[in-house]
Amino acid sequence: MSDSSKQTEKKIHEGIDKASDVAKDEVTRLRNELNELRRKAGPKVQEAENFLTSPPVLGFIEEHFANTRLHFDHCYPRTDFFTIGITGFVAGAAVVLLYAKYNGGLRL
């Protein structure tokens, strides 16, 4: 190998090492940021879980959505899991919106 090709190869390896170090630093920074977000969100997540599994909310869901399956069976005898999933999504969205209303509005 000539001198210039050795120098070029050395520069390429230095560039790869530098990019690798930058990537490692970025991954470390992002992991720390994620851990911080999890730490900050933990109490709110727990509060939401407690609310969504409280007897009044479960009673509301049971009362308002208990006959949903029967309704779909009547309208669409071959109801599939996708339709049931949409129903669950709508029920979940309703519960989240009720929680937001109960808790003083949506906060993003």
Which helix or strand (DSSP H or E) is residue 99 part of?
helix 81-102
The reported pLDDT for the residue numbered 28 is 92
Q: 68-100 pLDDT, tens per residue?
A: 555 545 555 555 555 666 777 788 888 888 877
> What residue has token string 């999933």?
85
Q: What's this model's pTM, rounded to 2 decimal places?
A: 0.41
Listing DSSP states for 28-86 in one string gives: HHHHHHHHHHHHHHHHHHHHHHHHHTSHHHHHHHHHHHTTHHHHHHHH-TT--HHHHHH
As a whole number of angstroms, the distance between CA 108 and CA 82 comes to 29
Q: 5-62 pLDDT, tens per residue?
A: 888 888 888 888 888 888 999 999 999 998 888 888 888 878 888 888 888 877 777 7
The reported pLDDT for the residue numbered 90 is 80
**In this model, does residue 108 exceed pLDDT 60?**
no
**In this model, does residue 107 exceed pLDDT 80?**
no
Structural contact between residues 13 and 7, judged by C-beta atoms closer than 8 angstroms: no
Question: If DSSP codes are grouped into helix, strand and coil, which group holds residue 3?
Answer: helix
The reported pLDDT for the residue numbered 26 is 92
